Amino acid sequence: MGEKKLVDARGMACPGPIAKLTRAYREAKNGDIIEILATDQGFIPDIKSWVESTGNKLLELGQDGSGVIRAVIEVTAKK
Amino acid sequence: MRALKGKRAVIVGGGSGGIIAANLLAEDGMDVTLVTDNQYHFFQPANLFIAFRGDPAEKYTRNVSELLNPKVRLRVERAKRVDLGNRTIFTESGIKIDYDYLVVAAGARLDYDSLPGLRETREMYGDYYSTPQSAAKVWETVKGLQVGKFVIAVPDLIIKCPPAPHKGTFLAASYFKREGRSVEVELLYPSPHIYTEAELAKTVEEKMRTFGNITFRTSFMIDSIDVEKKTVISMSGEEVKYDAIVSIPFHKGPDIEFEPSNVKDDDSFIKVDKNKLNIIGYDDSYAIGDCTNAPTSKTGVAAHLGAFTVWKRINGENAKYSGRTNCPMITEDEAIFVISDYEHKPVRQRFSKLKRLMEDIFVAMYFPSLRYPKRFEPIFDAYFKATEPEVLGERGW
């Protein structure tokens, strides 16, 4: 079982939550779980697209009543 | 208005934020000391003009002393330690300076060691993030490349001037086209679109396609650069060959010790209230610009507006920084501005020649606007008000 990391990118519109995610991803290894919190609506399509093109796994993606988007990814694509 | 005459302000950093803050506070009659480890101030965006147009570095370099109000005491030395509770800073040589108000504007520290090959490629080909000298090295690289592939590599997105990788791409592509050289410019970018915001990315992508000699890869997470094989390797094992490469370094917070140390985050950025810009837990100490953890772009506009916010707050006003950005993305003859704030993602933009002219006007205004910030404020203020994301709205600009 890998490590679990939390990336809090709430309130970040520019350069956006992906900027914070890529920093956490760099440190991660296969099997690690990264949980990202964001409020930027663009993050929903962006995280889907990023996970698909980088070949990682999106375990959860949802939004709560207050608008906070929560995505959980499993790192699987590191060589 | 508070009685500030004779109160002591210490400013750390000789970039645009530090100089503007020092000059504003000195005009209030405060006893201002500015501590910086570099006697020179560079107009950083011009590194692009040095790197891709061969402009002389001197044109964009000034002594910090000539940009400061003569009443400001300048100390060219590294600030080593800040004791927030005791309102004291210590310089590298051990000099102790007490303050009533502190403004840290120390900028970001560039890190070339977090990625294998980054330091070596900088030595070989230069870069346009660190110094005008290193930018001049890029110009040598560009001039010498007759055929092949010129790569601009972006390993990380928490960087100064987020559109700078794109500016470099456009300016390099224009140069190679004008010279009639068969050189392809490829931008390697970690986010899923070629700019961090999807709508703006479409505009940028369209513009890139019109060049004919620009290619790019998105969601490209760089693992390392193999200098021997002239290859960039991604984290999933994809390889991109290059003939010359310019990489963007990682950015960290400044190398200054703080007491208490928990005012810095894991990357050494200084934790601030994103609107009031005071260092978390202190109401007499502020941090502005690239050295903070404020969730906005690392850009001169944030430093400029941050300096004004802090100056007003020290004067007792309830001023707030909105997170406003205004990052120009230029080609040789057109530009767009990445305009956003904490509440609004970047607004839609159309490339125009007028915006490119506005950028040239700003370059001409830059040094005087540091020396005489109050005189220039009405111009900047009118511009910022007219172009607020709220005002531009869905229609964009």
Measured CA to CA in angstroms, residue B95 lies from B147, B284, B369 at distances of 54, 21, 31
Each of the 397 residues of chain B gets a pLDDT tens digit; together they read 568 888 999 999 999 999 999 999 999 999 999 999 999 999 999 999 999 999 999 999 999 999 999 999 999 999 999 999 999 999 999 999 999 999 999 999 999 999 999 999 999 999 999 999 999 999 999 999 999 999 999 999 999 999 999 999 999 999 999 999 999 999 999 999 999 999 999 999 999 999 999 999 999 999 999 999 999 999 999 999 999 999 999 999 999 999 999 999 999 999 999 999 999 999 999 999 999 999 999 999 999 999 999 999 999 999 999 999 999 999 999 999 999 999 999 999 999 999 999 999 999 999 999 999 999 999 999 999 999 999 999 899 9
Judged by CB atoms closer than 8 Å, whether chains meet at B157 and A79 is answered as no
- CB contact burial B371-394 (16+ within 10 A = b; e otherwise): bebeebeeebeeebeeeebeebee
Q: What percentage of chain A reaches a pLDDT higher than 90?
A: 85
- Predicted local distance difference test score (pLDDT) of residue A12: 84
In the 3-class helix/strand/coil scheme, how is chain B assigned residue by residue?
CCCCCCCEEEEECCCHHHHHHHHHHHHCCCEEEEEECCCEEECHHHHHHHHHHCCCHHHHEEEHHHHCCCCCEEEECCEEEEECCCCEEEECCCCEEECCEEEECCCCEEECCCCCCHHHHHHHHCCCCCCHHHHHHHHHHHHHCCEEEEEEECCCCCCECCCHHHHHHHHHHHHHHHCCCEEEEEEECCCCCCCCCHHHHHHHHHHHHHHCCEEEECCCCEEEEECCCCEEEECCCCEEECCEEEECCEEECCCCEEECHHHECCCCCECECCCCCEECCCCCEEECHHHECCCCCECHHHHHHHHHHHHHHHCCCCCCCCCCCCEEEECCCCEEEECCECCECCCCCCCEHHHHHHHHHHHHHHHHHHHCHHHHHHHHHHHHHHCCHHHHCCCCC
Strands B285-287 and B101-104, by their bridges, are parallel
Chain A CB contacts of B346 under 8 Å are 13-14
Residues with Cβ within 8 Å of B388's Cβ and at least 6 positions away in sequence, in order, are B324, B341
Nearest chain A Cα distance for residue B371, angstroms: 29
Residue B158 touches chain A, beta carbons under 8 Å:
yes
Q: Which of A16, A20, A79 sits opposite B197 (nearest CB)?
A: A16
Measured CA to CA in angstroms, residue A25 lies from A30, B121, B195 at distances of 10, 23, 19
Listed residue (B39, B26, B36, B41) closest to B91, CA to CA: B36
Domains and CATH numbers, chain B: 8-108+253-392 (3.50.50.60), 113-249 (3.50.50.60)
- Predicted local distance difference test score (pLDDT) of residue B1: 56
Nearest chain B Cα distance for residue A53, angstroms: 6
- Predicted local distance difference test score (pLDDT) of residue A79: 84
Residue B312 touches chain A, beta carbons under 8 Å:
no
- Predicted local distance difference test score (pLDDT) of residue B102: 98
Measured CA to CA in angstroms, residue B205 lies from B169, B216, B249, B337, B354 at distances of 12, 9, 23, 15, 20
Residues with Cβ within 8 Å of A73's Cβ and at least 6 positions away in sequence, in order, are A33, A34, A36, A47, A51, A56, A57, A58, A59
Domains and CATH numbers, chain A: 4-74 (3.30.110.40)
What order of strands is seen across the sheet that includes strand B73-76? B73-76, B31-36, B8-12, B101-104, B285-287
Q: Which of B155, B223, B338 sits opposite A14 (nearest CB)?
A: B338
- Predicted local distance difference test score (pLDDT) of residue A4: 93
Judged by CB atoms closer than 8 Å, whether chains meet at B296 and A26 is answered as no
pLDDT at A1 > cutoff 80? no
- Give yes or no for a contact between B286 and B279, defined as CB atoms under 8 angstroms apart: yes
**B257-276 residues touching A, CB cutoff 8 A:** 267, 274
Catalytic residue among A9, A13, A14, A62: A14
Separation between Cα atoms, residue B88 and residue B75, nearest integer Å: 15
Chain B CB contacts of A5 under 8 Å are none
- Predicted local distance difference test score (pLDDT) of residue A14: 80
Q: Which of A13, A41, A46 sits opposite B342 (nearest CB)?
A: A13
Q: Which of A40, A45, A77 sits opposite B236 (nearest CB)?
A: A77
Judged by CB atoms closer than 8 Å, whether chains meet at A13 and B192 is answered as no
Q: CA end-to-end span of chain B, whole Å?
A: 38
Q: Which of B156, B158, B192 sits opposite A50 (nearest CB)?
A: B192
- Predicted local distance difference test score (pLDDT) of residue B366: 98
ipTM: 0.95
Location of structure tokens 């990391």: A5
Judged by CB atoms closer than 8 Å, whether chains meet at A14 and B274 is answered as no
Chain B CB contacts of A46 under 8 Å are 191-193, 198
- Predicted local distance difference test score (pLDDT) of residue A15: 86
Q: Is A7 part of the annotated catalytic residue set? A: no
Asked if residue B132 has a cis previous peptide bond (ω within 30° of 0), the answer is no
Residue B340 touches chain A, beta carbons under 8 Å:
yes
pLDDT band (50, 70, 90) for residue A16: confident
Residue A12 touches chain B, beta carbons under 8 Å:
yes
